[in-house]
Amino acid sequence: MSETSIEALLEDLKNPDEAVRNRATVELWRIWFQQKGMYGRELIERSQVLLTFGEIKQAEELLTELIENQPDFAEAWNRRGVLYYIIGEYEKAKNDCNRVLELNPVHFGAFHGLGLCCAALGEYYTAIQAFRNALEIQPYALINQKLILECTARLN
């Protein structure tokens, strides 16, 4: 997919029409998951099944192997970050989110995940900035607005 198409999808995330935003969101996730073709997508999907069935260690090993083989595959880093967040390994999750953002600076999911990790670690200022960054890309994402308010309340 061309850079122009991705830019158009990013613009669609700012459209007042919810249907347009939803289509753009789905398409961006599809692009990110398929960055490395069917091989990468299948391994990510297999890791998600393992995670769903509580096979945390196997899911982590699969994602780590994928990252080692495809270190520029942002979604592999993102999925492992999600796994680490789920099991409460917030520093590891934060590191993976930061790596995603180095590879894909418009990954609103990684900004959201980074915010969640920072909030869980009590780093509320950093969490607020991460949620704001996500909102710059996806301004209608109410969850990020809500989380900014929650983190701001914890600063007092």
Q: On the CB side of 11, how many CA atoms lie within 13 Å of its CA?
A: 6
Print pLDDT tens along the chain (156 aa). 556 699 999 999 999 999 999 999 999 999 999 999 999 999 999 999 999 999 999 999 999 999 999 999 999 999 999 999 999 999 999 999 999 999 999 999 999 999 999 999 999 999 999 999 999 999 999 999 999 999 999 996
Q: Which residue has the tokens 């607005």?
A: 145
What global pTM score does this model have? 0.93
Q: Which residues of 77-109 are buried (b: 16+ CB within 10 A; e: fewer)?
A: bbbbbbbbbeeebbebbbbbbbbbbebbebbbb
Domain regions of the chain by residue span: 106-156
